[in-house]
Structure 1
Amino acid sequence: MALAKASNRSPRLTEGLNQGDAEERRCSKKKSKICTDFSENSEYADLAEKVFQDVNAAFERDELIDEFDIVPVESKANHSPVLHVASEHKLALEAWCVPYLFTHSYKSFLAVRRKQKCSLSSLISSTNPSKYGSFKASNFSESDRINRGLVLSRTLVLLNPDITMAWNFRRDFVPIVSPAILEAELRLVSLVSTRKPKCPEGFVYRRWLINQAFKNHLLLPETIGEWFPIEVKSIEIPILKYFSNYHAWSYRMWLLQKILYDQGIPLEQKLLVLESEVNCTDAWMNTQVSDYCGHHYRHKLLHLLQLTVPENSSTTHHEKFIARMKKELDQNAKQIELYEGHESLWCHRRAVMKMLLEYLADNGSDECNNSHSVIIKDLVYNEQKFVSLIISDDNVAENSKERTTLNCNHCRKYVAWTNAQFSKFNWQLSTNDFNSSQSCI
């Protein structure tokens, strides 16, 4: 059967598969060659150790390095491949040295982790040894082994942050017992995210750091107003670097729920934190209209804001939340008109409308069970006006015909969904405008 399938392949497909196999074999040979070079030629190990020491020296000179990347360089110039701009706290490596540095660091890390003796080529003597530097002999103490393991793990997570055992080594041997250590570890995770903004291991480690900080009372409920904005700002970097960054948004939601419900902060402070997050994401909503993860986070924010309103709350809290939801619908309507054809905006509108009507049904039974209530009638009127605007002839421009047609299709689906979901409110948007509109056909 396999031979029959292979014989039916087109010549172009067969040629493409052969080229792909050849490229894979070439990369595999290159990697195996580097490993062979390390095992047979100590010159490469000496070179990699020198690069490793230069990277470590850069961190010792500048503890505030905030960006790391790998720079493509064609030729090996006669200078260190470690590029450090101390005045701007930037660090980079020339691409040609990365395979050698990674292989050397990985093998050395395994040796340290297994409490084995590192070869003399991996432990080159240093004229100015530090607790994070090289060693003069292959036999070294337990503290030296741990210190070197921490530096090696730092190099490994910078080059490949998906190596779980490197993060686990830091969990085992970095005690989060002081604000300085916590800040240094958080800064390392932020540095890793500048090059790999979607690395899940980095965000898992960041959660562990926050949990340890709360456990050791380094972060207190009364100081949430000080450190929470700083932590949120550090998360915004990977969010902006990688579109629809699920891991970053999930961590942000986890952090918000952690401080709101696990730390026993008062209701007034919870409301301040939530309002701050809502206001912070307002500007983002106007620039990243297709980011489903961000819209989901926004929906969760509104849901938390709804849950934070105490039971038997005053009319003021009730009116504030309804006004907040109406404002959200108005902002969403403007975005849909401005950025046509984005399904994420329509999905967000569905979520907000459903949340608002369910809240009205649960918290104002006397008002909401009446199909002629002022709020429901106002919502139906505004929605009918909105959908009529979307499908009107005046809203169509020749240079955006395709996007306008797509917007109309999303609008049709939205109308059908709302009529089905909210029938208990006698909710019925008119479809006459859709049938008479020729712009969307």
Structure 2
Amino acid sequence: MDDDKYALVEKIVKDMHNVLSKTTELYAFDIVPVDSNFRNKSPVLSAENCLGLESWCVKHVYMYCYSEIKEKYGMMSQRKYKRITTLDFERLVKLLNVTLLINPDITTLWNKRREIVQLLSLDKVSELQFSRLVLSRKPKCNDAFAYRRWLLGSILQSDNLQTNELENLINSELRICDETSDKSPNNYHSWSHRLSIVDNMKNVLKHYDMNSLYIKEYIFSEKCISNHVSDYSCFHYRQFCIRNIFNLDNSSWKSFENTIDINLRKVFVRLVANNLPKDGTVQATEDNLVSYTEENLINLLFSYNVKNCNCTVNNLALCRKLEVVCHELVLNNELIRFYHSHETLWYHRRFILHELIAMMYDHFSLFRNNGILVKKNCKHCSLNDMRQKQAKISRYDSNCIYNSVLFQVILIHENNFIEERQTDGDNYAGRHEKYLKFVEGLNNVM
């Protein structure tokens, strides 16, 4: 590289460092398409808290910075840190800033920044701001998300942070997840990062009301799946939120019911009333079922249950789980009808049906072993008839679950829905039927 290019690149590196260090509220970076330096000005652009670099110089700047990092600092981990001066760190940070903004998919360079942070030469909060700049241009950069999780883990371990500061950090992280998922559809790394943050908060913020966050994220995820019906990463996060709602306590459940815009109990009983068996064994209207208590409703739905142990069943918790999952099933019905032939919606439906079947298996103390329903040993009882392990259940036990009202309701509902979608020409309906038969083991009853 000749002296003119060398001087130009050095000026670009210096200009970018000045913008990064002086403008603390930068939130976006991008490469601006410019064919040549026709203005004879610096290609570093800064306006309204946004940073830009003209495209004509990207190749020269990147090769220069990356080559110097590799030649002078590539073996930094094998040196003694006391031999590296402050000027060396400052120079390395300037080069890393430019290189990672242009091409952030190099794990080695992010590890260099980790080494510098560990030596207290870089501020962790400022590094969060830098990685946000990277994600503004590359919203699917997994290394940037991993770097942010590493920084947050280190920050949250500090005893000096107040509760409001911790909450601000988490809220800021969730906003970044919103931005990256909106910029890039099917952003697996963004949704995985969000899941990781919410899931690990309970281990860090011990005095924080996690249930309120679970409710907030559940409502947020419902809006997302309605807007991004082909983004399975979004649906996977929705499934995570549903399982968190299962664990709400009584006070949080009341807050949850007051927050959402729908009556879960009415949705649940309407689904049951519209799909009751036509043999006349159960006769109940929607208005009657609404007036049932949780215990009476569960006794109706599992009327063929036979007690085999002394454990008490938490009918309240089970009824609430059924309300949440059945609401999800009704929502999935509407989305599939409106968005024709979207595979992701049918995959999510498999999750819903699996959860419903798993609840019934758990209630009847059953599990499926190599395609065979097996009686589950109760860990809390010591009855003599519970000592035999993994004994094949009898024909009566099979009828116990298959003849229950809830199973019949779900079976009738799914058969009707599959027939409706097949009539409408949705090929995924047939695949869903095969899933229920050969994966969930319902081939003998469908």
Structures share a fold, TM > 0.5?
A: yes
Distance 2:49 2:247 in 1: 42
Q: Residues 232 and 219 from structure 1, CA distance in 2 versus in 1: closer, same or farther, beyond 3 angstroms?
A: farther
1:295 and 2:255 aligned? no
The one-letter code sitting in structure 2 at the alignment partner of 1:325 is V
**How far did 1:359 drift?**
2.3
* Structure 2 residue aligned with 1:281: 221
What stretches of structure 1 of length at least 5 have no aligned partner?
1-37, 117-139, 396-404, 429-441
1:323 and 2:283 aligned? no
Select the residue among 96, 103, 128 that pairs with 1:160. Answer: 103
**How far did 1:45 drift?**
0.7
Q: How does 1:114-133 map to 2 (within 5 A)?
A: none
Q: How does 1:25-424 map to 2 (within 5 A)?
A: 38=1, 41-77=2-38, 78-85=40-47, 88-110=48-70, 113=73, 142-175=85-118, 181-217=123-159, 225-260=167-202, 262-263=203-204, 265=206, 269-306=209-246, 314-363=314-363, 365=365, 369-392=400-423, 395=424, 405=425, 407=426, 409-423=427-441
Superposed CA RMSD in Å reads 3.3
Deviations 1:248-277 (A, max 9, x none): 2222222222223x33747x9333322222
Distance 2:161 2:356 in 1: 35
**How far did 1:289 drift?**
0.9
* Structure 1 residue aligned with 2:374: none
Distance 2:441 2:107 in 1: 51
Distance 2:20 2:143 in 1: 22
Distance 1:105 1:300 in 2: 42
Q: Residues 59 and 222 from structure 1, CA distance in 2 versus in 1: closer, same or farther, beyond 3 angstroms?
A: closer
Residue 174 of structure 1 aligns to a residue whose secondary structure is helix
Deviations 1:115-150 (A, max 9, x none): 99xxxxxxxxxxxxxxxxxxxxxxx97112112212
Residue 152 of structure 2 aligns to a residue whose secondary structure is helix
Aligned partners of 1:112 and 1:149 also within 8 Å: no
Distance 2:162 2:119 in 1: 15
Aligned partners of 2:422 and 2:430 also within 8 Å: no
Aligned partners of 1:65 and 1:191 also within 8 Å: yes
Aligned partners of 1:369 and 1:425 also within 8 Å: no
**How far did 1:304 drift?**
4.4
- Answer 1 or 2: higher relative contact order, Cα 8 Å, separation at least 6: 2
After TM superposition, the structure 1 stretch with the greater mean CA deviation from structure 2, 206-215 or 331-340, is: 206-215
The normalised TM-score by structure 2 is 0.69
Residue 295 of structure 1 aligns to a residue whose secondary structure is helix
Aligned partners of 1:177 and 1:218 also within 8 Å: no
The normalised TM-score by structure 1 is 0.70
Q: Residues 187 and 176 from structure 1, CA distance in 2 versus in 1: closer, same or farther, beyond 3 angstroms?
A: farther
What stretches of structure 2 of length at least 5 have no aligned partner?
77-82, 251-310, 367-396
After TM superposition, the structure 1 stretch with the greater mean CA deviation from structure 2, 284-293 or 361-370, is: 361-370
Q: Residues 49 and 322 from structure 1, CA distance in 2 versus in 1: closer, same or farther, beyond 3 angstroms?
A: same
Distance 1:381 1:265 in 2: 45
Residue 402 of structure 2 aligns to a residue whose secondary structure is coil
Aligned partners of 1:290 and 1:344 also within 8 Å: yes
Deviations 1:211-270 (A, max 9, x none): 21233346677866543332111112222222222222222222222223x33747x933
Q: Residues 322 and 181 from structure 1, CA distance in 2 versus in 1: closer, same or farther, beyond 3 angstroms?
A: farther
State percent identity of aligned pairs.
26
* Structure 1 residue aligned with 2:289: none
Distance 1:379 1:418 in 2: 11
Aligned partners of 2:9 and 2:64 also within 8 Å: yes
